[in-house]
Each structure stands twice: as structure tokens, then as C-alpha cells.
A and B are shown apart, each in its own frame.
Chain A
């Protein structure tokens, strides 16, 4: 790894200034992706601006409508949060499935979605729950945030401060994990939402395509009948899905259906147990 200057500012403004002072600077969140990338020489920043000194970025706030999570909150903290588990158990479950314990102890929500790895877990929750990504400059809806592989709506120097997840009455995530990396070969987050007031069910798929995407056919079917049977005959075509050493596009296409059914089943069970919020 080539050497770089290191700054750990204690405010958003200072972080922006520190980044702007660099010819080729990057923000550092948990480092679980960027540090291995830098070790491979695939990124060679001249300056690293560590966001961990900004206290406001680590927090979990749960109201009766929204789960608000600070961008530098670790996956381990989300998975262990009793409040999140009560309000959105599917989100806590997802956080507990990211990587492994060591990665969850360092990796952060903001880092994950800013990186927008096509196989990352969080983008599926952000998109399916219709979350709002809040930055130091604006609010970005989930549908606008994830642009393409490793590409988001974030502008140069923009910092995610928190993500607001609207609470729905039942939601769950299921993924087929790569056995070595635990990245999603295909992961599906299903969120049941009121069709009249909240735009209906949302189904988001990660791992299978170049970027997280929704499945409108499944969403429409689930609006009428929120059950695994409702989507039995709906498939996402293999065309355009990822095809690599881990899984063929056809296999990923098949996995989307299986994972969606599992997520729906889990969401219904969670709701029946009264674990989900109203």
C-alpha cells in the first residue's frame, strides 16, 4: 500500500475541508472494503479522511414510524439493537448476516451503501424499505441513490450522515451467501407496505445484478396476496444478471425466486409472532 496523509476530523465541515485539501482523497468509514482494495493497489489515495471522529454519525433512534441509523453505526450495533429488532426485525437480521463478526464489528451502514458493492446486503434493505439517505447536503430517496455497480448519487465530498428506514408491518431478508466471503450470491429483501398509503409491497434484489434492483411483477402480485405462492410463477430473466465463478446468471435467476419466497415466509412469521411493528 502506498503511504498517504491521514486526518481524523471531528466535524462534517472539517472532514469536507480535509478531503478538498487532497489531490485524491477518500473518506474512511469502517474500512472493511477500502483497506483490502488499497492493499491490492486498486485504490491509491493521497489522503485518507477518517470519519470515526465525528460523534454524531454513530447513533440509533427509533420512533413509531422511523428507524434512523447514523452512517458510522456498525453492523454489529444494528444487529444487537433491541429497539431495531422490535421495530424492524428484518433489518437487524440482515445486519447480523453481513460478512462475519469481525467485519460486522468494523463495517458501517454508510460505508456499505456509499461503496454500493453489487453483492452487499444493505442496499437491498435501503431500497425495499424505501429508506431516505441523508447527507451533509440533502436527502436522497432509495430509488435515486443506487445508480450502477459501485456508483451512487453521491457527489464529490458528500458524506452520508444517516439513513432513515420507514417502519413497515412486516419485512424480511433472505440471502444465499457465498460460503467464503458471505457476500450475497443473491439476496432478497421483501417489505410489506400498505398499497393505498405507502405505495405497496417492495421487493429488492442484491447480489444478482450489477446493482440492487426492484422486481415490479413480484411487488404487484404480493400486493394482492402476500404469500410465497403468489410469486411462484414469476421469475427474473437471467439476461443481464451477474455471471461469474461463483454462480451463473441462470442460477442467480433461480435463486432470486427461492430467496424471495423465503423472505416472504419469514416476514409473515415475524409479523404473526407480533415481532413486527404496526
Chain B
């Protein structure tokens, strides 16, 4: 079995994995980081989004071996787990989630967006969140939350 070494939420991880192991399976079943959700498992919904080397990707559509040497961030590594990040706080304030299933992926995509574009327009946000499907909110409050988070983060 291939041996892989990567960083997950700033912790070094080394594992022997079957080549067919998906990154999402490594994260959830091996590392027990179940904040990464599997929605469709067909690369459509974006619930399984994590950041690989800072870029959002669908972890159900990437092999664990492809993440060998990479720096992976899951929702458990977003913020310190004690204090809400500006993005988490804005989602709370603007009621940007209902069932919450899509939220981890939504947060990691929006987090990367705000890093690349600290002052996004509503159109920018809608374009960048196209890969994350939410069946509850109708997106309006999510978009408002990202706009608000951007404003807070710009200070």
C-alpha cells in the first residue's frame, strides 16, 4: 500500500492507504474528522470541501495519495474551536445556515475567497460559492454573511 505523509490542520499525518482511498475517506474514517460531510459523493454538492494547499477542493473527488505532501485544512482547523471566526460569527448573525450540513464546505470555500479577495462583490461571492449547494437557505443569508465577514475582516 502506498505510504503518504501530509499535514492536516497543522498536524503531521503518515498513513499507509489503499490507492483507491479518497481524501474524504482518509479524513473521516481514518482521522475521524467528521466535520467534513459527504453529501452527494459525486462531485456536485461541495459539502466535502476542504482546502488543499489553501485552495478549496472536493475531497470526495481527490485520492488520498494525491494529497501526499500537501497541507490540508478541514473545518476542524478553521479557527481555534473556542472563539468564533469572523466568518462563523457572520453566519450565526445572519442566519446563514439551517440544517448546517453544507456549512463546513461553505466556510472553507468562503474562507479561501476572502483570502484572495478581501472586498468581494455580491456577484463575486455567488460565483465563488457555485460549487457549494445549500438546500435550506436559498443562499441569500449565506451571501450576506460572507459580505459581512469581509467587512469585519477588513476592519
A interface residue numbers (CB < 8 A to B): 1-6, 8, 28, 31-32, 35-36, 38-40, 48, 50, 52, 76, 99-103, 105-106, 180-182
Contacts and interface: CB of A to CB of B under 8 A. Distances in A.
Nearest to A36: B43
Interface string B1-24: 010000000000000001110100
A54 to B, nearest CB: 14
B20 A103 contact: no
Interface in B41-64: 41-44, 46, 49, 52, 55-58, 61-63
B104 interface: no
B96 interface: no
Interface string B102-113: 000000010011
A115 B41 CA distance: 21
Contacts of B44: 180-181
B66 interface: yes
B20 A1 contact: yes
Contact of A106 (B18, B61, B113, B132): B61
B63 A31 contact: yes
A2 B18 CA distance: 10
Contacts of B42: 36, 39-40
A31 B19 contact: no
Given A36-B61, A52-B66, 20 more contacts: A1-B20, A2-B20, A3-B18, A8-B65, A31-B63, A35-B22, A36-B42, A39-B41, A39-B42, A48-B19, A48-B63, A100-B46, A100-B132, A101-B112, A102-B49, A103-B61, A105-B57, A106-B57, A106-B61, A180-B133
